[in-house]
Amino acid sequence: MLMHQTMRWFGPNDPVKLSDIRQAGCAGVVTALHHIPPGHVWSITEINIRKFMIGSEGMTWTVVESLPVSEAIKTQSGDYKKHIANYCQSLRNLAACGIKVITYNFMPVLDWVRTDVNWKLPDGARALYFEKNAFIAFDLFLLRRPGAEKDYTKEEIRQAKDRFDLMREHEKQTLFANALLGLPGSDVAFTPQQVLNALETYREIDADRLRQHLFYFLQQVIPVAEELNLQMAIHPDDPPYPVLGLPRVVSTEEDIAAIISAAPSSSNGLCFCTGSLGVRPENDLLAILRRFNEHIHFLHLRNTAKDGYGNFYEATHLGGDTDMFLIVKEILQIQRKLGKSLPMRPDHGHQMLDDLDKKTYPGYSAIGRLKGLAELRGLELGVYRWMLDQ
């Protein structure tokens, strides 16, 4: 049994068309109703409109990414109970439309963070890059987050200052813009004031408290998902450690184990993202796959290359630090054992060839992802055929 190949589509405003995704060889599409704000209900009508768009291109909407969890739910403030009730209603509506896998995350304020979304590789293609000194410089000298110095060592601050002093004005502006990029699927970046205000709402929320908020959310939502036969897939933190003083609670194997035990159910599962989890050196990706196998509901396959200092860039899908051969082999073994095919998407891709001149969502240009998918597809077929002969 091979993986179910999909690609992410940001909806009608995405410069990558559904027909491109079909030509990439995908049967499934991963999308979300980005125009509906977090906390609101996704109506059956809105879901069906999107579903039919995808259906009319000969594909199916296999995975929702993401049904976003509102900041009110994460901080347990304001209308959070109403938002959870709305979340459950959206799940009912999705189930009524036949959609089964729902991805979400519990990262406070920011989703993924990078310092450079146009990092030039030696061959001229562009990749996403996280540079630790630049990020600290952004935090201390551009965002000027109150109390930020407490989160860094003297040596880190010194190196960030040296890095910042060497930046030209336009580099500072680019760094500022990149670090404040909005959520995937949004063209609107955060303003510094919005980020500072949002950070303020987490002043009293440490990792333990955030975890309690997540567990509360799961205890309300997972029984509903289970009754509807839906599979919830939490996405790991990216990068998998605290940023801007914000706690992060979906970064390690133990975090995932705690999440699953907070609401034990086969509906309570993981989006296994090799790119995110792989940035933390002590994360053993194969061990995570083996331990949570029946809880893995969605696969994001991409690769990162990190140095010992905390910098990382997005490598080719088969390059980088993660041994994709071993990952794919393990996935195929899990699929064989469970008798099911997991949805997979090639996550992020290099901006390359004709896409270099196009404006696309960072990480989501067509050709780089198509290349990634083609490599993964070839690898998978090779491993699959080889396993049949074993």
Residues forming contacts to ligand DNO in the complex (CB under 6 A) are 65-66, 103-105, 111-112, 184, 235, 300, 347-348, 363
Question: Minimum distance from CB of 278 to ligand DNO (Å)?
Answer: 13
Question: Minimum distance from CB of 389 to ligand DNO (Å)?
Answer: 35
SS (H, E, C) 339-358: CCCCEEEECCCCECHHHHHC
Catalytic one of 139, 348, 350, 361? 348
Three-class DSSP category at 246: strand
Give the N- to C-terminal CA distance of the chain in Å, as an integer: 15
Catalytic one of 4, 83, 300, 350? 300
Tokens (6 digits) for 36:
């509906």
Question: Minimum distance from CB of 103 to ligand DNO (Å)?
Answer: 5
Asked about 364 being catalytic, the answer comes back as: yes
Asked about 300 being catalytic, the answer comes back as: yes
Percent helix, strand, coil in the chain, to 5, is 45, 15, 40
Instruction: For ligand DNO, give the closer residue by CB, 263 or 363.
Output: 363
Question: Minimum distance from CB of 140 to ligand DNO (Å)?
Answer: 25
Question: Minimum distance from CB of 115 to ligand DNO (Å)?
Answer: 16
Catalytic one of 26, 88, 271, 273? 273
Tokens (6 digits) for 87:
């979340």
DSSP letter for each residue of 182-243:
--TT--PPPPHHHHHHHHHTTTT--HHHHHHHHHHHHHHHHHHHHHHT-EEEEPPPSSSS-B
Asked about 88 being catalytic, the answer comes back as: no
Alpha-carbon gap, residue 349 to 368, rounded angstroms: 4
Instruction: For ligand DNO, give the closer residue by CB, 14 or 347.
Output: 347
* Peptide linkage before 77 cis (omega within 30 of 0): no
Residue 193, φ and ψ in degrees, nearest 5: -65, -40
Instruction: For ligand DNO, give the closer residue by CB, 104 or 138.
Output: 104
Instruction: For ligand DNO, give the closer residue by CB, 103 or 303.
Output: 103
CA-based radius of gyration for the chain: 20
Instruction: For ligand DNO, give the closer residue by CB, 248 or 329.
Output: 248
Asked about 348 being catalytic, the answer comes back as: yes
Give the catalytic positions in this structure: 235, 273, 300, 347-348, 364
